[in-house]
Chain A
Amino acid sequence: MEVFADFFRDLYDTTGLNFVIFYEEYESERFIAAVWTSLKLIVICLILSLVVGIVGAWAQGAKSRIVRLVMAGYIQFFRNTPPFVQILFFYFVVGTTLERAGLMPLVDMGGWNEPLIGNFGWAVVSLSFFAGAFNVEIFRSGIEAVPTATREAAEALGYTRLKSFIYVIFPLAFRVCLPALNNNLVNLLKTTTLAYAIAVPEMMYTANQIWSDNVNVTEMMFVLFIYYIVLVGILVWLMHKWERKMIILGYN
Protein backbone atom coordinates (compact mmCIF):
# COMPACT_ATOMS: atom_id res chain seq x y z
CA MET A 1 0.00 0.00 0.00
CA GLU A 2 2.88 2.34 0.91
CA VAL A 3 4.57 1.64 -2.43
CA PHE A 4 1.33 2.56 -4.18
CA ALA A 5 1.05 5.86 -2.27
CA ASP A 6 4.72 6.64 -2.84
CA PHE A 7 4.30 6.08 -6.57
CA PHE A 8 1.57 8.70 -6.80
CA ARG A 9 3.40 11.12 -4.50
CA ASP A 10 6.40 10.70 -6.77
CA LEU A 11 4.25 11.19 -9.84
CA TYR A 12 3.06 14.51 -8.40
CA ASP A 13 6.58 15.65 -7.57
CA THR A 14 7.97 14.75 -10.97
CA THR A 15 5.11 15.46 -13.38
CA GLY A 16 2.70 17.67 -11.44
CA LEU A 17 -0.13 15.13 -11.89
CA ASN A 18 -1.84 15.30 -8.53
CA PHE A 19 -3.76 12.11 -7.81
CA VAL A 20 -4.13 13.19 -4.18
CA ILE A 21 -6.74 10.50 -3.43
CA PHE A 22 -4.08 7.80 -3.65
CA TYR A 23 -1.57 9.19 -1.17
CA GLU A 24 -3.24 11.57 1.29
CA GLU A 25 -5.21 9.93 4.06
CA TYR A 26 -7.99 12.50 4.38
CA GLU A 27 -8.67 12.58 0.66
CA SER A 28 -8.47 8.82 0.17
CA GLU A 29 -10.92 8.31 3.03
CA ARG A 30 -13.29 10.77 1.38
CA PHE A 31 -12.86 9.00 -1.93
CA ILE A 32 -13.52 5.53 -0.52
CA ALA A 33 -16.59 6.80 1.33
CA ALA A 34 -17.80 8.26 -1.98
CA VAL A 35 -17.30 4.92 -3.79
CA TRP A 36 -19.34 3.23 -1.09
CA THR A 37 -22.12 5.85 -1.11
CA SER A 38 -22.42 5.91 -4.88
CA LEU A 39 -22.49 2.09 -5.15
CA LYS A 40 -25.18 1.96 -2.47
CA LEU A 41 -27.18 4.64 -4.27
CA ILE A 42 -26.84 2.91 -7.65
CA VAL A 43 -27.76 -0.60 -6.46
CA ILE A 44 -30.77 0.56 -4.42
CA CYS A 45 -32.06 2.75 -7.26
CA LEU A 46 -31.62 0.00 -9.87
CA ILE A 47 -33.57 -2.52 -7.80
CA LEU A 48 -36.32 -0.09 -6.77
CA SER A 49 -36.76 1.21 -10.33
CA LEU A 50 -37.25 -2.38 -11.54
CA VAL A 51 -39.84 -2.99 -8.82
CA VAL A 52 -41.63 0.24 -9.73
CA GLY A 53 -41.51 -0.75 -13.42
CA ILE A 54 -42.96 -4.22 -12.90
CA VAL A 55 -45.70 -3.13 -10.48
CA GLY A 56 -46.49 -0.14 -12.70
CA ALA A 57 -46.75 -2.20 -15.88
CA TRP A 58 -49.13 -4.54 -14.11
CA ALA A 59 -51.16 -1.63 -12.71
CA GLN A 60 -51.39 -0.07 -16.16
CA GLY A 61 -53.49 -2.96 -17.31
CA ALA A 62 -55.63 -2.95 -14.17
CA LYS A 63 -59.41 -3.16 -14.40
CA SER A 64 -59.91 -0.10 -12.18
CA ARG A 65 -60.00 3.14 -14.14
CA ILE A 66 -58.64 5.09 -11.16
CA VAL A 67 -55.53 2.91 -10.87
CA ARG A 68 -54.90 3.33 -14.61
CA LEU A 69 -55.32 7.11 -14.37
CA VAL A 70 -52.97 7.35 -11.40
CA MET A 71 -50.36 5.37 -13.34
CA ALA A 72 -50.73 7.60 -16.40
CA GLY A 73 -50.38 10.69 -14.19
CA TYR A 74 -47.28 9.29 -12.51
CA ILE A 75 -45.63 8.49 -15.83
CA GLN A 76 -46.43 11.90 -17.31
CA PHE A 77 -45.09 13.69 -14.23
CA PHE A 78 -41.80 11.81 -14.12
CA ARG A 79 -41.18 11.57 -17.84
CA ASN A 80 -41.93 15.20 -18.58
CA THR A 81 -39.75 16.88 -15.92
CA PRO A 82 -35.96 16.89 -15.76
CA PRO A 83 -34.51 14.52 -13.14
CA PHE A 84 -32.41 17.38 -11.77
CA VAL A 85 -35.55 19.39 -11.02
CA GLN A 86 -37.20 16.32 -9.51
CA ILE A 87 -34.35 15.75 -7.06
CA LEU A 88 -34.42 19.38 -5.90
CA PHE A 89 -38.22 19.32 -5.76
CA PHE A 90 -38.36 16.19 -3.63
CA TYR A 91 -35.69 17.36 -1.21
CA PHE A 92 -36.62 21.01 -0.81
CA VAL A 93 -40.37 20.96 -1.45
CA VAL A 94 -41.83 17.53 -0.71
CA GLY A 95 -39.45 16.77 2.17
CA THR A 96 -39.77 20.14 3.83
CA THR A 97 -43.55 20.28 3.39
CA LEU A 98 -43.97 16.85 4.94
CA GLU A 99 -41.76 17.89 7.85
CA ARG A 100 -43.68 21.12 8.39
CA ALA A 101 -47.03 19.36 8.17
CA GLY A 102 -45.82 16.92 10.81
CA LEU A 103 -46.20 13.94 8.48
CA MET A 104 -42.50 13.11 8.48
CA PRO A 105 -41.09 11.67 11.70
CA LEU A 106 -38.36 14.02 12.92
CA VAL A 107 -35.81 13.80 15.68
CA ASP A 108 -34.93 17.20 17.11
CA MET A 109 -31.15 17.19 17.51
CA GLY A 110 -30.98 20.69 19.04
CA GLY A 111 -30.71 23.32 16.34
CA TRP A 112 -31.36 20.92 13.51
CA ASN A 113 -33.61 17.96 12.76
CA GLU A 114 -32.84 14.42 11.72
CA PRO A 115 -35.73 13.44 9.42
CA LEU A 116 -36.71 9.86 8.61
CA ILE A 117 -35.85 10.49 4.97
CA GLY A 118 -32.72 12.61 4.53
CA ASN A 119 -30.94 13.69 1.37
CA PHE A 120 -29.83 10.14 0.53
CA GLY A 121 -33.39 8.89 0.99
CA TRP A 122 -34.85 11.59 -1.25
CA ALA A 123 -32.24 10.91 -3.92
CA VAL A 124 -33.25 7.22 -3.87
CA VAL A 125 -36.97 8.06 -4.03
CA SER A 126 -36.74 10.57 -6.86
CA LEU A 127 -34.23 8.62 -8.97
CA SER A 128 -36.07 5.32 -8.57
CA PHE A 129 -39.39 6.86 -9.53
CA PHE A 130 -37.76 8.71 -12.42
CA ALA A 131 -36.20 5.58 -13.93
CA GLY A 132 -39.26 3.59 -12.83
CA ALA A 133 -41.52 5.69 -15.05
CA PHE A 134 -39.45 4.73 -18.07
CA ASN A 135 -39.30 1.11 -16.92
CA VAL A 136 -43.11 0.99 -16.80
CA GLU A 137 -43.27 2.05 -20.43
CA ILE A 138 -40.51 -0.38 -21.39
CA PHE A 139 -42.31 -3.27 -19.71
CA ARG A 140 -45.59 -2.19 -21.31
CA SER A 141 -43.99 -2.42 -24.74
CA GLY A 142 -42.85 -5.93 -23.86
CA ILE A 143 -46.27 -6.93 -22.58
CA GLU A 144 -47.92 -5.61 -25.73
CA ALA A 145 -45.50 -7.71 -27.78
CA VAL A 146 -46.87 -10.89 -26.21
CA PRO A 147 -49.35 -12.28 -28.78
CA THR A 148 -53.02 -12.15 -27.84
CA ALA A 149 -53.22 -15.83 -28.67
CA THR A 150 -50.75 -16.63 -25.87
CA ARG A 151 -52.77 -14.49 -23.47
CA GLU A 152 -55.98 -16.21 -24.42
CA ALA A 153 -54.33 -19.59 -24.14
CA ALA A 154 -53.32 -18.77 -20.56
CA GLU A 155 -56.86 -17.64 -19.83
CA ALA A 156 -58.23 -20.81 -21.35
CA LEU A 157 -56.00 -22.81 -19.02
CA GLY A 158 -57.73 -21.14 -16.08
CA TYR A 159 -55.05 -18.60 -15.06
CA THR A 160 -56.30 -15.55 -13.18
CA ARG A 161 -55.12 -12.14 -14.43
CA LEU A 162 -52.38 -11.91 -11.80
CA LYS A 163 -51.24 -15.50 -12.27
CA SER A 164 -51.11 -15.24 -16.06
CA PHE A 165 -49.09 -12.01 -15.64
CA ILE A 166 -46.60 -13.70 -13.32
CA TYR A 167 -46.25 -17.08 -15.06
CA VAL A 168 -46.90 -16.42 -18.72
CA ILE A 169 -46.98 -12.83 -19.89
CA PHE A 170 -44.23 -11.24 -17.82
CA PRO A 171 -41.54 -13.89 -18.48
CA LEU A 172 -42.10 -13.50 -22.20
CA ALA A 173 -42.41 -9.73 -22.08
CA PHE A 174 -39.25 -9.45 -20.01
CA ARG A 175 -37.19 -11.13 -22.70
CA VAL A 176 -38.55 -8.79 -25.35
CA CYS A 177 -37.78 -5.63 -23.43
CA LEU A 178 -34.39 -6.51 -21.93
CA PRO A 179 -32.35 -4.48 -24.47
CA ALA A 180 -34.44 -1.35 -23.85
CA LEU A 181 -34.31 -1.97 -20.10
CA ASN A 182 -30.56 -2.34 -20.34
CA ASN A 183 -30.37 1.14 -21.87
CA ASN A 184 -32.55 2.72 -19.22
CA LEU A 185 -30.63 1.17 -16.33
CA VAL A 186 -27.34 2.43 -17.77
CA ASN A 187 -28.98 5.84 -17.96
CA LEU A 188 -30.12 5.59 -14.35
CA LEU A 189 -26.63 4.68 -13.20
CA LYS A 190 -25.28 7.82 -14.83
CA THR A 191 -28.14 9.96 -13.54
CA THR A 192 -27.27 9.13 -9.91
CA THR A 193 -24.53 11.77 -10.21
CA LEU A 194 -27.30 14.38 -9.96
CA ALA A 195 -27.64 13.55 -6.27
CA TYR A 196 -24.71 15.96 -5.78
CA ALA A 197 -27.30 18.76 -6.03
CA ILE A 198 -28.76 17.83 -2.65
CA ALA A 199 -25.35 17.16 -1.13
CA VAL A 200 -25.38 13.36 -1.19
CA PRO A 201 -21.66 12.60 -0.85
CA GLU A 202 -21.46 10.31 -3.89
CA MET A 203 -18.67 10.29 -6.46
CA MET A 204 -19.53 13.47 -8.38
CA TYR A 205 -19.98 15.48 -5.17
CA THR A 206 -16.78 14.22 -3.61
CA ALA A 207 -14.72 14.66 -6.77
CA ASN A 208 -15.93 18.26 -6.89
CA GLN A 209 -14.88 18.83 -3.27
CA ILE A 210 -11.51 17.19 -3.82
CA TRP A 211 -10.68 19.19 -6.95
CA SER A 212 -11.82 22.40 -5.26
CA ASP A 213 -9.49 21.77 -2.34
CA ASN A 214 -6.50 20.55 -4.34
CA VAL A 215 -6.89 22.35 -7.67
CA ASN A 216 -6.49 19.07 -9.55
CA VAL A 217 -9.57 19.31 -11.78
CA THR A 218 -8.03 17.46 -14.73
CA GLU A 219 -6.84 14.52 -12.67
CA MET A 220 -10.14 14.15 -10.80
CA MET A 221 -12.07 14.39 -14.08
CA PHE A 222 -10.08 11.40 -15.32
CA VAL A 223 -10.82 9.51 -12.13
CA LEU A 224 -14.51 10.37 -12.46
CA PHE A 225 -14.63 9.24 -16.08
CA ILE A 226 -12.82 5.99 -15.48
CA TYR A 227 -14.96 5.25 -12.42
CA TYR A 228 -18.20 5.54 -14.39
CA ILE A 229 -16.84 3.76 -17.47
CA VAL A 230 -15.91 0.80 -15.27
CA LEU A 231 -19.27 0.82 -13.46
CA VAL A 232 -21.33 1.03 -16.64
CA GLY A 233 -19.10 -1.62 -18.22
CA ILE A 234 -19.81 -4.00 -15.36
CA LEU A 235 -23.56 -3.31 -15.52
CA VAL A 236 -23.72 -3.84 -19.28
CA TRP A 237 -21.67 -7.03 -19.02
CA LEU A 238 -24.01 -8.40 -16.33
CA MET A 239 -27.11 -7.47 -18.32
CA HIS A 240 -25.77 -9.11 -21.49
CA LYS A 241 -24.96 -12.26 -19.56
CA TRP A 242 -28.47 -12.27 -18.20
CA GLU A 243 -29.91 -11.67 -21.64
CA ARG A 244 -28.03 -14.63 -23.07
CA LYS A 245 -29.07 -16.87 -20.22
CA MET A 246 -32.73 -16.10 -20.75
CA ILE A 247 -32.83 -16.88 -24.44
CA ILE A 248 -35.62 -19.30 -25.35
CA LEU A 249 -34.57 -21.10 -28.49
CA GLY A 250 -37.09 -20.59 -31.24
CA TYR A 251 -38.67 -17.57 -29.50
CA ASN A 252 -37.61 -14.15 -30.85
Chain B
Amino acid sequence: MKRTVLGALAVTVGLALALSASQAQAQNDRFKKVLDRGTLVVGVKADYKPWGFRNSDGKIVGMEIDMAQDVADALGVKLELIPVQSSNRMQFLQQGKIDLMIATMSDKANRRKVVGITDPNYYTSGTNVLAKKGAVSKWEDLRGKPVCGKQGAFYNKQVSQRYGAKIVAFVGNAEAKQALRDGKCIAWVYDDSSIMADLASGQYDDYEMPMATEDDTPWGLAVPLDEKDGIWGNFMSGMIYNWHRTGRLIELEKKWGIQSTAYLGAMNKKFEAYQPK
Protein backbone atom coordinates (compact mmCIF):
# COMPACT_ATOMS: atom_id res chain seq x y z
CA MET B 1 0.00 0.00 0.00
CA LYS B 2 2.72 2.37 1.07
CA ARG B 3 4.63 1.58 -2.07
CA THR B 4 1.62 2.35 -4.31
CA VAL B 5 1.13 5.71 -2.64
CA LEU B 6 4.80 6.55 -3.00
CA GLY B 7 4.69 5.36 -6.60
CA ALA B 8 1.67 7.49 -7.36
CA LEU B 9 3.37 10.44 -5.68
CA ALA B 10 6.51 9.92 -7.73
CA VAL B 11 4.49 9.77 -10.93
CA THR B 12 2.60 12.94 -9.99
CA VAL B 13 5.78 14.83 -9.14
CA GLY B 14 7.39 13.59 -12.32
CA LEU B 15 4.40 14.69 -14.37
CA ALA B 16 4.34 18.06 -12.66
CA LEU B 17 8.04 18.53 -13.33
CA ALA B 18 7.62 17.56 -16.97
CA LEU B 19 4.65 19.89 -17.25
CA SER B 20 6.45 22.83 -15.67
CA ALA B 21 9.47 22.15 -17.88
CA SER B 22 7.30 22.31 -20.98
CA GLN B 23 5.68 25.45 -19.61
CA ALA B 24 9.06 27.01 -19.02
CA GLN B 25 9.95 26.18 -22.59
CA ALA B 26 6.72 27.77 -23.89
CA GLN B 27 7.52 30.88 -21.90
CA ASN B 28 10.77 31.41 -23.72
CA ASP B 29 9.62 30.80 -27.30
CA ARG B 30 9.20 34.38 -28.28
CA PHE B 31 12.73 35.66 -27.73
CA LYS B 32 14.28 32.90 -29.82
CA LYS B 33 11.58 33.23 -32.46
CA VAL B 34 12.30 36.95 -32.90
CA LEU B 35 16.04 36.31 -33.25
CA ASP B 36 15.49 33.42 -35.70
CA ARG B 37 13.03 35.44 -37.72
CA GLY B 38 15.32 38.45 -37.78
CA THR B 39 12.28 40.72 -37.41
CA LEU B 40 10.56 42.16 -34.37
CA VAL B 41 6.81 42.68 -34.87
CA VAL B 42 5.40 45.47 -32.70
CA GLY B 43 1.78 46.58 -32.39
CA VAL B 44 1.58 50.38 -32.26
CA LYS B 45 -0.98 53.13 -32.67
CA ALA B 46 -1.20 54.78 -36.08
CA ASP B 47 -3.78 57.41 -35.18
CA TYR B 48 -2.51 58.92 -31.96
CA LYS B 49 -0.19 61.82 -32.62
CA PRO B 50 2.56 62.14 -31.48
CA TRP B 51 2.85 58.65 -29.96
CA GLY B 52 2.11 56.75 -33.13
CA PHE B 53 0.80 58.31 -36.35
CA ARG B 54 1.34 58.36 -40.09
CA ASN B 55 3.55 61.12 -41.47
CA SER B 56 3.00 62.78 -44.85
CA ASP B 57 4.67 59.81 -46.58
CA GLY B 58 2.23 57.39 -44.96
CA LYS B 59 4.96 55.95 -42.73
CA ILE B 60 4.11 55.24 -39.10
CA VAL B 61 6.27 57.41 -36.84
CA GLY B 62 6.14 58.74 -33.28
CA MET B 63 7.51 58.39 -29.79
CA GLU B 64 6.38 54.81 -29.31
CA ILE B 65 7.75 53.86 -32.72
CA ASP B 66 11.15 55.21 -31.65
CA MET B 67 10.90 53.04 -28.56
CA ALA B 68 10.07 50.00 -30.68
CA GLN B 69 13.11 50.81 -32.87
CA ASP B 70 15.30 50.91 -29.74
CA VAL B 71 14.13 47.41 -28.86
CA ALA B 72 14.81 46.11 -32.38
CA ASP B 73 18.26 47.74 -32.34
CA ALA B 74 19.09 46.14 -28.99
CA LEU B 75 18.15 42.75 -30.41
CA GLY B 76 19.93 43.45 -33.68
CA VAL B 77 16.84 42.65 -35.78
CA LYS B 78 14.64 44.51 -38.22
CA LEU B 79 11.46 46.25 -37.04
CA GLU B 80 8.01 45.58 -38.43
CA LEU B 81 5.09 47.73 -37.28
CA ILE B 82 1.47 46.61 -37.11
CA PRO B 83 -1.12 49.34 -36.49
CA VAL B 84 -3.52 48.37 -33.70
CA GLN B 85 -6.61 49.98 -32.16
CA SER B 86 -7.44 50.38 -28.49
CA SER B 87 -10.26 47.89 -28.98
CA ASN B 88 -8.17 45.10 -30.51
CA ARG B 89 -4.60 45.62 -29.28
CA MET B 90 -4.74 42.94 -26.58
CA GLN B 91 -6.21 40.37 -28.99
CA PHE B 92 -3.29 40.95 -31.37
CA LEU B 93 -0.92 39.97 -28.59
CA GLN B 94 -3.01 37.01 -27.41
CA GLN B 95 -3.22 35.57 -30.91
CA GLY B 96 0.53 35.86 -31.35
CA LYS B 97 0.27 38.27 -34.28
CA ILE B 98 2.68 40.67 -32.58
CA ASP B 99 5.65 40.11 -30.28
CA LEU B 100 5.27 43.31 -28.34
CA MET B 101 2.63 45.98 -27.86
CA ILE B 102 3.48 49.62 -27.23
CA ALA B 103 0.14 51.31 -27.84
CA THR B 104 -0.67 54.04 -25.28
CA MET B 105 -2.31 51.49 -23.01
CA SER B 106 -3.28 52.38 -19.46
CA ASP B 107 -2.05 49.85 -16.95
CA LYS B 108 -5.10 48.31 -15.27
CA ALA B 109 -5.39 45.28 -12.99
CA ASN B 110 -7.91 43.55 -15.27
CA ARG B 111 -5.62 44.06 -18.29
CA ARG B 112 -2.73 42.44 -16.41
CA LYS B 113 -4.79 39.25 -16.39
CA VAL B 114 -4.93 39.23 -20.19
CA VAL B 115 -1.54 40.47 -21.37
CA GLY B 116 1.94 40.53 -19.82
CA ILE B 117 2.41 44.16 -18.80
CA THR B 118 6.07 44.52 -17.84
CA ASP B 119 7.32 46.81 -15.08
CA PRO B 120 8.20 49.59 -14.64
CA ASN B 121 5.60 51.72 -16.42
CA TYR B 122 7.02 53.84 -19.21
CA TYR B 123 4.62 56.76 -19.06
CA THR B 124 1.63 58.22 -17.23
CA SER B 125 -1.33 60.31 -18.27
CA GLY B 126 -4.11 61.98 -16.34
CA THR B 127 -6.85 64.57 -16.45
CA ASN B 128 -6.23 68.05 -17.83
CA VAL B 129 -8.05 70.66 -19.88
CA LEU B 130 -7.61 72.35 -23.23
CA ALA B 131 -8.46 76.05 -23.10
CA LYS B 132 -7.85 79.28 -25.00
CA LYS B 133 -4.50 80.78 -24.04
CA GLY B 134 -4.83 82.78 -20.83
CA ALA B 135 -8.46 81.86 -20.16
CA VAL B 136 -7.73 79.77 -17.07
CA SER B 137 -4.57 78.94 -15.15
CA LYS B 138 -5.60 76.66 -12.28
CA TRP B 139 -8.36 74.14 -11.59
CA GLU B 140 -10.12 76.56 -9.20
CA ASP B 141 -10.70 78.94 -12.14
CA LEU B 142 -13.30 76.52 -13.49
CA ARG B 143 -15.77 77.11 -10.65
CA GLY B 144 -19.27 77.84 -11.94
CA LYS B 145 -18.11 77.92 -15.56
CA PRO B 146 -19.23 75.63 -18.36
CA VAL B 147 -16.60 73.00 -19.15
CA CYS B 148 -17.08 70.75 -22.17
CA GLY B 149 -16.51 67.04 -21.84
CA LYS B 150 -17.42 63.68 -23.24
CA GLN B 151 -20.41 61.77 -21.91
CA GLY B 152 -19.40 58.83 -19.78
CA ALA B 153 -15.90 60.04 -18.87
CA PHE B 154 -15.18 59.41 -15.20
CA TYR B 155 -13.46 62.73 -14.61
CA ASN B 156 -16.58 64.75 -15.41
CA LYS B 157 -17.90 64.01 -11.94
CA GLN B 158 -14.54 64.62 -10.28
CA VAL B 159 -14.04 68.01 -11.89
CA SER B 160 -17.56 69.09 -11.02
CA GLN B 161 -17.32 67.80 -7.46
CA ARG B 162 -13.81 69.03 -6.71
CA TYR B 163 -13.88 72.35 -8.51
CA GLY B 164 -17.55 73.11 -9.05
CA ALA B 165 -17.25 73.22 -12.84
CA LYS B 166 -20.51 73.00 -14.79
CA ILE B 167 -19.87 70.01 -17.03
CA VAL B 168 -21.46 70.21 -20.47
CA ALA B 169 -20.92 66.71 -21.81
CA PHE B 170 -21.42 65.75 -25.43
CA VAL B 171 -21.77 62.38 -27.09
CA GLY B 172 -18.37 62.51 -28.78
CA ASN B 173 -15.13 64.44 -28.51
CA ALA B 174 -15.59 66.05 -31.92
CA GLU B 175 -18.74 67.80 -30.71
CA ALA B 176 -17.15 68.73 -27.39
CA LYS B 177 -14.14 70.31 -29.12
CA GLN B 178 -16.41 72.10 -31.59
CA ALA B 179 -18.34 73.57 -28.66
CA LEU B 180 -15.02 74.73 -27.17
CA ARG B 181 -14.00 76.38 -30.44
CA ASP B 182 -17.42 78.05 -30.67
CA GLY B 183 -16.87 79.56 -27.24
CA LYS B 184 -19.73 77.59 -25.69
CA CYS B 185 -17.50 76.53 -22.83
CA ILE B 186 -14.30 77.79 -21.25
CA ALA B 187 -12.36 74.53 -21.48
CA TRP B 188 -12.49 70.92 -22.64
CA VAL B 189 -11.64 68.32 -20.00
CA TYR B 190 -9.99 65.11 -21.16
CA ASP B 191 -6.94 62.89 -20.96
CA ASP B 192 -3.76 64.97 -21.07
CA SER B 193 -2.07 62.70 -23.61
CA SER B 194 -4.97 63.18 -26.00
CA ILE B 195 -4.93 66.95 -25.43
CA MET B 196 -1.19 66.96 -26.18
CA ALA B 197 -1.95 65.08 -29.37
CA ASP B 198 -4.41 67.83 -30.35
CA LEU B 199 -1.90 70.56 -29.53
CA ALA B 200 0.70 68.76 -31.65
CA SER B 201 -1.72 68.56 -34.58
CA GLY B 202 -1.35 72.29 -35.23
CA GLN B 203 -5.10 72.94 -35.20
CA TYR B 204 -5.09 74.41 -31.72
CA ASP B 205 -2.37 77.06 -31.88
CA ASP B 206 -4.39 79.55 -29.80
CA TYR B 207 -4.96 76.96 -27.11
CA GLU B 208 -2.95 75.54 -24.23
CA MET B 209 -3.07 72.88 -21.52
CA PRO B 210 -2.67 75.07 -18.43
CA MET B 211 -3.46 72.84 -15.44
CA ALA B 212 -1.35 70.52 -13.34
CA THR B 213 -2.41 67.03 -14.46
CA GLU B 214 -4.57 65.16 -11.95
CA ASP B 215 -5.30 61.47 -11.34
CA ASP B 216 -2.27 60.10 -13.16
CA THR B 217 -2.69 56.61 -14.58
CA PRO B 218 0.42 54.67 -15.61
CA TRP B 219 0.91 53.29 -19.12
CA GLY B 220 2.25 49.82 -19.74
CA LEU B 221 3.80 48.05 -22.70
CA ALA B 222 3.04 44.37 -22.96
CA VAL B 223 4.38 41.00 -24.07
CA PRO B 224 2.26 37.82 -24.37
CA LEU B 225 1.03 36.83 -20.90
CA ASP B 226 2.95 33.54 -20.63
CA GLU B 227 6.17 35.25 -21.74
CA LYS B 228 6.02 37.85 -19.00
CA ASP B 229 8.23 36.00 -16.50
CA GLY B 230 10.48 34.50 -19.13
CA ILE B 231 13.38 35.95 -21.11
CA TRP B 232 11.20 38.16 -23.26
CA GLY B 233 9.33 39.84 -20.37
CA ASN B 234 12.48 40.31 -18.36
CA PHE B 235 14.30 41.67 -21.37
CA MET B 236 11.58 44.31 -21.86
CA SER B 237 11.70 45.24 -18.15
CA GLY B 238 15.41 45.83 -18.64
CA MET B 239 14.73 48.00 -21.70
CA ILE B 240 12.26 50.17 -19.77
CA TYR B 241 14.65 50.45 -16.83
CA ASN B 242 17.42 51.68 -19.10
CA TRP B 243 15.09 54.09 -20.92
CA HIS B 244 14.29 55.67 -17.55
CA ARG B 245 17.86 55.63 -16.23
CA THR B 246 19.47 57.16 -19.29
CA GLY B 247 16.77 59.77 -19.75
CA ARG B 248 16.00 58.39 -23.21
CA LEU B 249 12.22 58.77 -22.70
CA ILE B 250 12.63 62.41 -21.67
CA GLU B 251 14.72 62.94 -24.77
CA LEU B 252 12.03 61.35 -26.97
CA GLU B 253 9.34 63.41 -25.27
CA LYS B 254 11.27 66.55 -26.27
CA LYS B 255 11.85 65.27 -29.79
CA TRP B 256 8.11 64.78 -30.37
CA GLY B 257 7.12 68.08 -28.77
CA ILE B 258 5.26 66.53 -25.85
CA GLN B 259 4.83 68.62 -22.72
CA SER B 260 7.16 67.05 -20.15
CA THR B 261 5.59 64.64 -17.69
CA ALA B 262 6.53 64.76 -14.02
CA TYR B 263 6.60 60.95 -13.87
CA LEU B 264 9.49 60.60 -16.35
CA GLY B 265 11.59 63.16 -14.44
CA ALA B 266 10.94 61.38 -11.16
CA MET B 267 11.79 57.94 -12.57
CA ASN B 268 14.98 59.26 -14.16
CA LYS B 269 16.10 60.80 -10.88
CA LYS B 270 15.29 57.65 -8.93
CA PHE B 271 17.16 55.24 -11.20
CA GLU B 272 20.10 57.54 -11.74
CA ALA B 273 20.55 57.71 -7.99
CA TYR B 274 21.34 53.95 -8.05
CA GLN B 275 24.44 54.63 -10.11
CA PRO B 276 27.80 55.10 -8.34
CA LYS B 277 29.05 58.64 -8.79
Contacts and interface: CB of A to CB of B under 8 A. Distances in A.
A196 B169 CA distance: 9
A199 B132 contact: no
B265 to A, nearest CB: 30
Interface in A203-252: 205, 208-209, 212-213
A61 B231 CA distance: 84
Given A26-B161, A208-B151, A112 B185 contact: yes
A25 to B, nearest CB: 11
B157 A213 contact: yes
B182 A208 contact: no
A27 B132 CA distance: 31
Given A197-B170, A199-B168, A112 B184 contact: yes
A212 B170 contact: no
B128 interface: no
Nearest to A27: B157
A109 interface: yes
Contacts of A126: none
Interface in B136-163: 136, 145-146, 148, 151-154, 156-157, 161
A92 B175 contact: yes
B145 A112 contact: yes
Interface string B170-183: 11000100110011
A92 B179 CA distance: 8
B135 interface: yes
Interface in A172-217: 196-199, 205, 208-209, 212-213
A124 B156 CA distance: 25
A55 to B, nearest CB: 31
Nearest to A108: B183
Interface centre among A95, A99, A111, A119 (most CB of B within 10 A): A111
Contacts of A213: 154, 156-157
B169 A109 contact: no
The SS class assigned to the A binding surface is helix
A92 B136 contact: no
Nearest to B148: A199
B153 A92 contact: no
A96 interface: yes
Contacts of B131: 111
Given A111-B136, A119-B168, A205 B151 contact: yes
Contacts of B168: 119, 199
Nearest to B131: A111
B161 to A, nearest CB: 7
A111 B186 contact: yes
A82 interface: no
A196 B185 CA distance: 16
B215 to A, nearest CB: 14
Interface of A: 26, 88, 92, 95-96, 99, 109-113, 115, 119, 196-199, 205, 208-209, 212-213
Given A112-B185, A115-B184, A199-B179, 4 more contacts: A92-B175, A110-B186, A209-B157, A213-B156
8 contacts: A92-B178, A96-B182, A109-B145, A109-B186, A111-B187, A112-B183, A199-B179, A205-B169
Interface of B: 131-132, 135-136, 145-146, 148, 151-154, 156-157, 161, 168-171, 175, 178-179, 182-187
